[in-house]
Amino acid sequence: QGLGCSSAFLIMSDPHSILQKQKFSWQQTMLRIKDPSKSLSFYRDVMGMTLIDKLQFPDMKFDLYFLSTLPAHEKYELEPGSDDAHRYLWTMKGTTLELTHNYGTESDASFKYHPGNQEKDGFGHVAFNCNDVYESSAKLEAAGISFKKKPDEGRMKGLAFVFDPDGYWVELVKRSTAAKFDNEFNLSQTMLRIKDPKKSIPFYQALGMTLCREVHMSDFSLYFLACLPEGTQAPDPKSEEASEFVKSLFCPVLELTHNHGTEGDETFAHFSGNEADRKGFGHIGFLVEDVQAACEALEALGSSFVKRPLDGTMKGLAFAKDPDGYWIEVIKRGGYDDKATPFWREATPAA
C-alpha cells in the first residue's frame, strides 16, 4: 500500500497538469438518511435507480448504500456487498447517490436530518430528468409521494419538486427530446449554492468538469458542470443549444447557484451540511488515479483539508474543501487491493 507521487515531484510540476493526469470523475453525492428501508424504496423502487453496492462498518455503526441510474437495457447482476460489486463501484464511470445510515436513527421517532433550503444552507436538491414532468408527477402522486411543488404551481411551470423520505428536495426536470435513452428517470443534478463563481467554477474545472451551461437572471445565476463522457463536446455554455445539451445528458450535472451580491460580502458563508445542527448533505466525491498527488496539487492551488490521505483510521482517502467549504472526497480509482478497497486501516499492534 502506498500513495504514489512525491512532494518533490509536485513542486517541479504544474498543479493543473497533475490534476489533469488524475482523470477526475464525479462518482458520488452523499446524503445522510434516517431509515434505509424507506430511502431504498424511494430511490430504487420509485425513481428507478439500481443498488450498486453496500458497505457495512458495524464497528463504526454505519452502513453505506450506493445507487446509480443505469441504462434501461443494462442488467446489473452483481450482489451488493460482494467483492465484484466493490470492484464495479470503485472503477465505474457513472455517478452514484451514496446514502449513509448511522445505526439507530431509524428507531428514533424524534430524529431527523436537515434537508437544506433554510437560510444560508448550501445544499439545495438532487434532480431527475424525465420525458413528461406532468405524467411522471401524476404517477408519483398516485404512489403516495409528497410534493413541495407540482408542475402547475408557482411561477415556473413545467417542473416539480417532491420530498424524499428524509425531506430532501428532489426536482423533476423535462429532458430534451434529443435524449436517446428509455429510462423514465435518470439522476440529473446535484444543486449547491456558491458565494463566488469566479472561485468555484475554476475549482471544479480543475477537477475535470466542463462548464456546459450558464444562465444569468437579474438576481441570480446558474452554472451547470459535468464530467462528460469521453468524446462528448459541450456547446458554448451561453448558447441556446446549451440548455438542450444539458437536458439530453444521461450523466448528472453539478448545478451551482449564485445569488448575486454574496461575493462582495466578507462575512457571508453557506452552511456545508456537516455542521452539528445542519447535518444532511455530506459531500460529493471523485475517483482519481493517485490520491496523494491529487491532494498535493489541490493544496498547491489553495485548498484546505478536512482529512488528508494519511489522517484518521481510514488511510488512503481524503476530504478537501471547495471554495465554499463543501467537502470533496478524493478516492483512489480501483482501490488498494484486489477487492478495490479505496482505503486501508493500520494494523493494531499486538499487546
CA distance 309 to 3: 8
- H/E stretch holding 241 reads helix 241-248
DSSP state of 301: T
Distance (Å, whole) CA 94 – CA 256: 20
Q: How far is CA 82 from the centre of its chain?
A: 23
Q: What is the CA radius of gyration of the chain?
A: 20
CB atoms within 10 A of CB 233: 7
Q: To which residue does cell 407540482 refer?
A: 150
Backbone dihedral angles phi then psi of residue 257, each to the nearest 5 degrees? -105, 120
Q: Count of residues for the chain?
A: 351
How would you classify residue 335: left for phi > 0, otherwise alpha for psi between -120 and 50, otherwise beta? Answer: left
Rounded Cα distance between 127 and 164, Å, is 11
Helices (H) and strands (E) in the chain, counts: 8, 16
**Any idea which residues carry the catalytic annotation?**
171
Q: Of 109, 139, 123, nearest to 32 (Cα)?
A: 123
